Amino acid sequence: MTENDPTAHDPATPRPSADAQPGQEAAQGGWAGSPYGEQSATASGSSYGDQGGSPYGDQGVSSPASGTPHYAPPAEPSYHAVTGADPSYGAPNANPWSAPGAQTPPHGQTQQSVYPPPNPYAQPGTSIYNAPAAPPAQKRSGGKLLAGVALVALLVGGIAGGAVGYLTGGTSGPASNALDAPKPAQQTGNAPAGSVESVAQKLSPSVVELQVSGQQGAGEGSGFVISTDGYILTNNHVVEVASGGGQIQAVFQDGRKAAAKVVGRDPTTDIAVVKVDGVGNLTPVEIGRSDDLRVGQSVVAIGSPFELAGTVTSGIVSSLHRPVRAGGSTGDQTTVMDAVQTDAAINPGNSGGPLANMSGQVIGINSAIYSPQSAQQGQGQGASEGGNVGIGFAIPIDQARRTADTIIKTGQAVQTYIGAQVKDAPQGGAELGAITPGSPADKAGLKSGDIVTKIDDRNIDSSDTLVAAIRTRAPDEKATFTLQGGRTVEVTLGGQPVTPN
């Protein structure tokens, strides 16, 4: 896709030629276009491979024979957007960046109940609330009967031994029973500052469950209140299924429900804003900053995994500036986020919920998870229901804040771009392809074939890293591009409206 094309790409639609005019997709000679911003195609044999559109090189799959994970170039790790709002994410042959979660099948098909949620440790159809099955009846035999007699004898022997000890050792006083002890004093006062408990108390009233339905399915995700008059920030993939005239219902912590409508959404950054009316006394979150996060600092995630509203989990920041691709078809970059990686438990339904620091300030929007289950199974319902393995991704709040502010003020998101196709360079870095005439890249003097290795002080090791680094910045910012060979070029980043499908 060309960066100038704000139109989402339909994988079933042929791509126009590379010399297409701005606003058209262009892909030829190994360049796979994306409908937004920088385009990317993965060069065959590159560190990212060209199967499944994964932003990572070696992918984890399981050996059919042993179930032991192994890493091989042909496979790819699968990343799931953690909601079930858009069934296209979990459809067969869909991009492994799919939206796992509760979905309503098309009309005429059987819908499975979402309660109770599936038990990942039981046989199919077993509820997590069921009592353990009774052990199979044992056949009577002389050997087992003798063993039972021996066991009884041992117990009797132990009792007898204990009686002898009591008689010879003297009495030690009356027995003590914990059940007879009085209850401890009830907890009073506020939660300790900086604790998970205090973060949960502060944020939970602002977190909502979003129940979404549309012509192509239904699902649920999370969001959080950002204004007293009803604006809610969430993921694009949570509400996308309702964008064509569907319905969205927000469920608040106190049980209140209200209809919501989409104000605007941006598939390129996976951000959306919805608004509820007629609900008062809303409590907005406190928005923090993500440009000073540190690996290892504690964080808390809140959301509605598997429709369990108000679920609180905790962990740490595992990594920063992780280029993560979600929601696009193989070879394009419909969504490429400069993600905050965390090991806080995030599951289907957490999408759109807040990731907060220990002061209760929101520093990210939970958006995607890595799911090896999907990598093993490849497609189908099992693939769409992958759960937490300790690798989750959140959109940095600095980027989300800028996008949400633009959506609220104008009703439309603005995408940062340079106007060039891009793919992985064989020796590392991002190789530029076709340059759109008059674009920021063209005005800066960048040429097709240039290989970008750094933007300012950030190393660029792939096309996804370049796209993520550009999209996390604001239009009109200046950035210094370092090219292979050491030459530097100053680029003034551009901005263009995003028109989602």
The question of whether 442 is a catalytic residue gets the answer no
Q: Which two tokens stand for residue 472?
A: 């996390």
| Cβ atoms 489, 434 nearer than 8 A | no
Which helix (DSSP H) or strand (DSSP E) does residue 193 occupy? none
- Helix and strand numbers, DSSP H then E, in the chain: 8, 25
270 carries an active-site annotation: yes
Q: Of these residues, 34, 78, 222, 351, which one is catalytic?
A: 351
Q: How far apart are CA 498 and CA 189, in angstroms?
A: 48
**Amino acid identity for residue 132 in this structure:** P
Indicate which residue of 86, 237, 424, 462 is catalytic: 237
CA distance 89 to 168: 74
β-partners of residue 488 are 482
The two beta strands, 39-41 and 420-424, are parallel
Residue of 270, 343, 424, 464 with catalytic role: 270
Specify which residues 72 forms β-bridges with.
59
Give the count of beta carbons closer than 10 Å to the beta carbon of residue 149: 10
Apex CA 471: angle with CA 314 and CA 230, to 5°? Answer: 60
Q: 55: alpha, beta or left, given left = phi > 0 and alpha = psi -120 to 50?
A: alpha
Written as one string, the DSSP assignment of 138-156 is PPP-HHHHHHHHHHHHHHH
Instruction: Check: CB of residue 268 under 8 Å from CB of residue 415.
Output: yes
Token pair 């390129």 is found at 268
Q: Which phi-psi region, left, alpha or beta, contains residue 384 (left: φ > 0; alpha: ψ -120 to 50)?
A: alpha
Cα separation, 499 vs 118, in Å, equals 37
CB 247 within 8 A of CB 231: no
CA distances from 466 to 55, 246, 355 (A): 12, 35, 25
Give the residue numbers marked as catalytic. Answer: 237, 270, 351
